Chain A
């Protein structure tokens, strides 16, 4: 009896283990696959020059710059707004029907397919507000896409802050705003940064929202202002694989682009993780 039970435990445990290894393994296969094909074309010129010869030669510099601008631009817009509205819903809004309505709407927003955001961004920013295809239109669209995740992670981060710390602060004569600014927010901040990381990764790789709002098929110069069009890595990748002038010849360029995209996401993750730990240490837990 006992050994049968043990065997069963052993079996289930190992099934779990194998499955989780498979998942991690798959991740490494993807990374490996992209790397061996992409790394060959990576050199200084590839990273710093314009595309040439119908995108079969040269580099992807404008796409890197474009993606970077979009990441920063969308976060400049979405991070403060997302964090402030997360603070508002969690700290100021009392439990009510309105609050749960707001919650479920935020969740719904997160579930909307990104192409719909793209369409909306085109209608509102490109056409209605006359921004045209531009970095600002693309950033705002991507920002909208990132907003629900940032709001949610902010709320979750604030919820983990112990209530007794808030009452402790009030009992010393601190106002609500002081309590949030000096006690609650610093504790929650490292976790809020996680939201930023997740959405930066997402934003850098999205194609659909930028398709109609900013992305240029081929633009061998850098954007000069926020009202300019720009190239971007995911869209460039799409172009290279589906509609380049010579798809066979541009294939290595596509893998190189994919590799760079992955690396950017990775570097941002590492950076944000480091920031998270840095701020986590400042809060003396």
Chain B
């Protein structure tokens, strides 16, 4: 057994965590995602890039089934998490969302204390052991690189934090429920450069434990934080590959044009 796991490490064959097979999504009659085949690997960061309205957020929301909350959405194809179709009837959506955490574009802390924000995910999952909750709040805030700034003010309202701190709080909140995958939809777009670099460093740390899919409009950011990059254009996944390959030798001319800033 031990030998085998070593072998895997040596080969560096990535484990597929998330996979889609001919995924299609319609908003009413609007075809927003077209036959998407996609893979994301364990402990890597995949960046989704593409011009506004190409379907990045829609695609991201497939993995925690947030599109279910929107009326008139139709989804087909296979969307797999650890080889299990998450749109299967037997899947409990609330359970799925615990495994697949999400951080939104605009920080959206609850109007509760810093502590309660992080504890929220635990409480709704039926955890009431206050010792465990306290410990988990602490480690989550540490993971999100916010602990040192807030440790003396955990009772303070989350709304008193700065935008960048609020976003890290939202990351801590997502981490507290111990997800396997972290979805981030332009997590730094509403932030100043310093907060942004905080978040980027954080992503780098977090990928040791999580599989991350991040939407970004910032090419430099995609280049800095991601291992893989997917380029979307008008509902199509045009190109998917290692970030290095996509940025240095894109196969598709559309990808090249987008990356070099000729459209978008």
**A residues with CB within 8 A of B:** 94-95, 162, 164-165, 167-175, 178, 182-183, 187, 283-285
- Does the CB pair A170–B108 fall under 8 Å? no
Judge if B250 is at the interface, Cβ distance under 8 Å.
Answer: no
Residues in A with CB closer than 8 Å to B124 are 169, 172-175, 178, 182
Which residue of chain B lies nearest to A174 when distances are taken between CB atoms in the complex?
A: B124
Name the one of B94, B108, B156, B174 contacting A165, with C-beta atoms under 8 angstroms: B108
Name the one of A95, A162, A171 contacting B102, with C-beta atoms under 8 angstroms: A171
- Does the CB pair A173–B177 fall under 8 Å? yes
Per-residue contact bits, chain B 200-236, to A (CB 8 Å; 1 contact, 0 not)? 0000000000000000000000000000000000000
- Does the CB pair A171–B101 fall under 8 Å? yes
Kindly state the separation between the CA atoms of A35 and B158 in the bound complex, as whole angstroms. Answer: 48
- Does the CB pair A171–B64 fall under 8 Å? yes
Minimal beta-carbon separation of A161 from chain B (angstroms): 9
Q: Besides the contacts A167-B108, A171-B174, A173-B98, what 6 more A-B pairs have beta carbons closer than 8 Å? A: A162-B108, A165-B108, A167-B69, A169-B110, A171-B97, A284-B159
Name the one of A172, A175, A283 contacting B111, with C-beta atoms under 8 angstroms: A283
- Does the CB pair B104–A164 fall under 8 Å? yes
Kindly state the separation between the CA atoms of A183 and B121 in the bound complex, as whole angstroms. Answer: 12
Kindly state the separation between the CA atoms of A169 and B110 in the bound complex, as whole angstroms. Answer: 8
Residues in B with CB closer than 8 Å to A168 are 104, 108-110, 170, 173
Number of A-B contacts (CB under 8 A): 74
- Does the CB pair B108–A164 fall under 8 Å? yes
Kindly state the separation between the CA atoms of A183 and B104 in the bound complex, as whole angstroms. Answer: 17
Judge if B112 is at the interface, Cβ distance under 8 Å.
Answer: yes
Residues in A with CB closer than 8 Å to B97 are 170-173
- Does the CB pair A167–B66 fall under 8 Å? yes
Name the one of B71, B106, B120, B156 contacting A172, with C-beta atoms under 8 angstroms: B120
Q: Which chain B residues (127-177) contact chain A, with CB distance < 8 Å?
A: 156-159, 170, 173-174, 177
Q: Which chain B residues (97-127) contact chain A, with CB distance < 8 Å?
A: 97-98, 101-102, 104, 106, 108-113, 120-121, 123-125
**B residues with CB within 8 A of A:** 64, 66, 69, 71, 94-98, 101-102, 104, 106, 108-113, 120-121, 123-125, 156-159, 170, 173-174, 177
Residues in B with CB closer than 8 Å to A169 are 110, 120, 124
Minimal beta-carbon separation of A236 from chain B (angstroms): 45
Kindly state the separation between the CA atoms of A171 and B106 in the bound complex, as whole angstroms. Answer: 14
Residues in A with CB closer than 8 Å to B95 are 173
- Does the CB pair B158–A284 fall under 8 Å? yes
- Does the CB pair A285–B159 fall under 8 Å? yes
Minimal beta-carbon separation of B182 from chain A (angstroms): 11
Minimal beta-carbon separation of B97 from chain A (angstroms): 4
Which residue of chain A lies nearest to B105 when distances are taken between CB atoms in the complex?
A: A164
Residues in B with CB closer than 8 Å to A94 are 71
Minimal beta-carbon separation of A100 from chain B (angstroms): 15
Minimal beta-carbon separation of B95 from chain A (angstroms): 7
Kindly state the separation between the CA atoms of A249 and B81 in the bound complex, as whole angstroms. Answer: 85
* Given A164-B104, A284-B111: A172 touches B173 (CB 8 Å cut-off): yes
Kindly state the separation between the CA atoms of A171 and B113 in the bound complex, as whole angstroms. Answer: 19
Kindly state the separation between the CA atoms of A174 and B121 in the bound complex, as whole angstroms. Answer: 7
Which residue of chain A lies nearest to B158 when distances are taken between CB atoms in the complex?
A: A284
Kindly state the separation between the CA atoms of A172 and B179 in the bound complex, as whole angstroms. Answer: 9
* Given A169-B120, A173-B177: A285 touches B111 (CB 8 Å cut-off): yes
Kindly state the separation between the CA atoms of A165 and B110 in the bound complex, as whole angstroms. Answer: 6
Which A-B residue pairs are the 7 nearest by beta carbons?
A: A284-B157, A173-B98, A172-B121, A174-B124, A164-B108, A171-B102, A173-B97
Name the one of A167, A175, A182, A183 contacting B94, with C-beta atoms under 8 angstroms: A175
Kindly state the separation between the CA atoms of A164 and B185 in the bound complex, as whole angstroms. Answer: 13
